[in-house]
Amino acid sequence: MSKAPTIRSPKSGGDRSLDSLPPRSVDQVPSAKKSWTPPRIILWAAIALLGGVSWTMLAIVRGETVNAIWFVFAALCSYLIAYRFYSKVIQKFITKPDDTRATPAEYKADGKDFVQTDRRVLFGHHFAAIAGAGPLVGPVLAVQMGFLPGTVWIIVGVIFAGAVQDYLVLFFSTRRGGRSLGQMARDELGKVGGTAAIVASLLIMIIIIAILALVVVNALAESPWGVFSVGMTIPIALFMGVYLRFLRPGRITEVSIIGFVLLMLAIVGGGWVGETDWGVAIFTLDRTTLAWALIIYGFIAAVLPVWLLLAPRDYLSTFMKIGVIGLLAAAIVIVRPEISVPAFSKFASGETGPVVPGTLFPFLFVTIACGALSGFHALIASGTTPKLLQKERQSRFIGYGGMLMESMVAVMALVAAVTLDQGIYYAMNSSAAATGGTVEGAVAWVNSLGLTGVNLTPDQLTQTANDVGEASIVSRTGGAPTLALGLANVMHQLIGGTGMMSFWYHFAIMFEALFILTAVDAGTRVSRFQLQDTIGNIVPAFRNTSWRPGVFISTAIMVAGWGAILLMGVTDPLGGINTLFPLFGIANQLLAAIALAVCLAIIAKNNNFRWLWVVAVPLAFVAVITISASFLKIFSPVTAVGYWANHVAFRDALAAGETTLGTAQTVEAMEAVVRNTFIQGTLSIIFVTLAIIVIATAIVATVRSYRSGGGVSSEDPRVESRVFAPSGLTATAEEKEIQKQWDALPAAQRPTAGH
């Protein structure tokens, strides 16, 4: 092993305050170039070989069944190679980070919004914020089309699109003082493109939060065990916030252990409460009641101090998220379940699938949104995260690496869904209008689909419901219950046997609710900030986030927006998640196209046209996908696909005096379909129009930069950094040596926050 180099602090051109400090970046010290030694070559060759074999088993060598371990190995090997090589290409030729340059967390430090945060803690915060319902729900719904298309899109999509977007937006926002995506769009694309981006991000955020909340509602409806357990996480998080703030400040290990124990007690206690008469009476809530409860919760959580609820929930949920997904991956490798779901199902080429309508192209790519590419992430990567980043180099670990972690969540969700019996999968994910909400109706519906090898019986559904401690699993749409059942199906084979099925199921439900509630309350807070900034252009007082009237008014407006969509979803006769999720997926991917368009314009302004393809290729793909999907939702004559076709069909039926049509069995239900499809169709038109405007202005800005050899940079003026921090999860030998010098620095000589 080579000895770490001796490091000396470099001179800095006359700045004596910097001369007295140790190096602030590994670039300032001599470093021996790491050669490709035989052990390293063997390691990466083995990773590549295992990944190649895994992909071959999934895509080519398929018998009647395929072993689930190949999904895990294909994903992990692909992620390792992408992070080690592709993300470094982006770092070397596009971002070119400079750790001697201060980040906003350093030169704008205020102890509130701009705070230098340890990279590992920040990774957890960022991951908790970006990982919501999308990577859990989308892959589950897309299993309708078979396992292979979704697997390819999740893994390949995140490597070349999703992680690229997250990394670049985070880095570019950091260079621009932590500005939001809308602000960057206004700077790079001008007034027209910037305004379109701001309006689009606000409207799309409303849809995203509504769908996140709808998933929670569908997971907890008619489940006293789930309602009690998830409800208890709120006082647990409040206690953790008070504990860290007042009782034992800084005792993170203590509060983590206490929080974990309380969570386990909440799960076990939920099972006991759910078996009592009073527990059933109090905690058995219908979807509408749950929706109102979430609306009230969302408002309160968004106006409470961040340390009281959001911070402890983020911290705890990150451990839960990563821990559970890691446990599931390990269980799959050990249990090695065989999967009988076809690589491509009969619904991949049709337009009237029972779970999500529409053909594989383009609807697979908008159904699986967050696990591969998510515009919502751009709002986080240009929101809180750049204001907390210590060093520019850390943006690769947090931005690119954090998105790879979310993609792994999506792969695990897909695997959990495909391990289930196909008949049970379709019984759970078909709308109540199709199944009638009964065991008999679900059996008749699923068996009428003509699925090869599927012969669902009432006993299968009732026994499965009994195993997981639920009254029914029929039409438990939204993806979360399916993922919970899949996780329980794998985990009980590893720990506990059939008797532990109910524990694992409700453990997963609470895990998912924690997963999603973090995004609901954080999303509401972020959307409130965006609205305050927007209104602040007219009423300057709104820009002050401490001005309570502005806080309450802005929060109320945003909660009213997503709350109305949520209530529309829970009362939708066509099945809320089945009709709203395509709109969510399209809106989310259109926002991703907007983010990539802004990155395109920035790279062009930097006169870096040789590497423009890194962004141009995913932008072109997602633009074609989402605009095509939008046009189909607007213009398709197939009522199961087109919002306006559905709207006209029900409107004309009502005008003709009919009292039932399709799955709507009453006049009120028919009127609800007319109203809902009008709203959904109108939003589709608005979203795609705004996205086209932003993309067009980005292309114009890029062409202009090409003709002029670049453009005027909108980066903040350079400020010299006076701090040091490692860039990755673990410090390198050079970083450890530098850190020793900083640790040896007398306290009186250490720079203070904000200098």
Complete DSSP assignment for 351-394: S--SSS-S-HHHHHHHHS-TTT--HHHHHHHTTTGGGT-S-TTH
Domain membership flag for residue 50: no
pLDDT on residue 179? 84
Residues 6+ apart with CB under 8 A from 377: 130, 162, 165, 166, 169, 370, 403, 592
**Which residue did the predictor score with more confidence, 418 or 5?**
418
Domain membership flag for residue 707: no
pLDDT confidence band for 83 (50 / 70 / 90): very high
Phi-psi region of 249 (alpha: psi -120 to 50; beta: other; left: phi over 0): beta
pLDDT confidence band for 266 (50 / 70 / 90): confident
Residues 6+ apart with CB under 8 A from 182: 194, 197, 198, 201, 530, 533
Render pLDDT for 438-466 as a digit per residue (tens, 0 to 9): 999 999 999 998 888 888 999 999 999 99
Domain membership flag for residue 703: no
Q: How many CB atoms lie within 10 A of CB 251?
A: 13
Domain membership flag for residue 686: no
What is the H or E stretch that residue 67 is in? strand 66-67
Phi-psi region of 61 (alpha: psi -120 to 50; beta: other; left: phi over 0): beta
Q: What amino acid occupies position 745?
A: L
Render pLDDT for 720-736 as a digit per residue (tens, 0 to 9): 999 999 999 888 888 99
Distance CA 478, CA 577 (A): 6
Render pLDDT for 365-375 as a digit per residue (tens, 0 to 9): 988 988 899 99
pLDDT on residue 12? 40
pLDDT confidence band for 89 (50 / 70 / 90): very high
Domain membership flag for residue 437: yes
What is the H or E stretch that residue 118 is in? none
* 107 and 115 Cβ atoms separated by less than 8 Å: no
With a cut of 90, say whether residue 45 has pLDDT above it: yes
- What tokens were used for 492? 């009980």
Residues 6+ apart with CB under 8 A from 35: none
Q: What is the mean pLDDT of residues 307-324?
A: 70
pLDDT on residue 22? 87
**Which residue did the predictor score with more confidence, 29 or 273?**
273
pLDDT on residue 164? 98
With a cut of 50, say whether residue 10 has pLDDT above it: no
Render pLDDT for 576-609 as a digit per residue (tens, 0 to 9): 565 666 777 888 899 999 999 999 999 999 999 9
Domain membership flag for residue 222: yes
pLDDT on residue 231? 85
pLDDT on residue 574? 56
Structural domain total, the chain? 1
pLDDT on residue 484? 87
With a cut of 70, say whether residue 753 has pLDDT above it: no
With a cut of 60, say whether residue 436 has pLDDT above it: yes
Render pLDDT for 179-235 as a digit per residue (tens, 0 to 9): 888 888 988 998 899 889 888 888 888 888 888 888 788 778 777 887 888 888 888
pLDDT on residue 4? 39
Distance CA 690, CA 67 (A): 44
- What tokens were used for 459? 């006993």
Q: What is the mean pLDDT of residues 30-44?
A: 82
**Mean pLDDT estimate for the chain:** 85
With a cut of 50, say whether residue 135 has pLDDT above it: yes
pLDDT on residue 16? 47
Q: Which of 133-137, 238-242, 610-614, 708-712 has the lowest mean pLDDT?
A: 133-137
Coil, helix or strand at residue 101: strand
pLDDT confidence band for 30 (50 / 70 / 90): confident
The domain in which residue 480 lies consists of 213-341+421-563
Domain membership flag for residue 584: no
What would the 3-class secondary structure string for 295-329 be? HHHHHHHHHCCCCCCHHHHHHHHHHHHHHHHHHHH
The separation between CA 599 and the C-alpha centre of its own chain, rounded to angstroms, equals: 20
Q: Which of 360-364, 416-420, 747-751 has the lowest mean pLDDT?
A: 747-751
**Which residue did the predictor score with more confidence, 313 or 388?**
388
pLDDT on residue 328? 86
Render pLDDT for 499-532 as a digit per residue (tens, 0 to 9): 889 888 888 877 777 667 777 877 787 788 778 7
Domain membership flag for residue 716: no
Nearest by Cα to 623 from 693, 700, 704, 682 = 693
Q: CB-hemisphere CA count at 13 Å for 236? A: 25
* 19 and 11 Cβ atoms separated by less than 8 Å: yes
Helices (H), 419-500: 422-429, 432-435, 439-447, 458-467, 480-494
Query: Which residue do the tokens 């701009």 mark?
Result: 114
Distance CA 746, CA 505 (A): 54
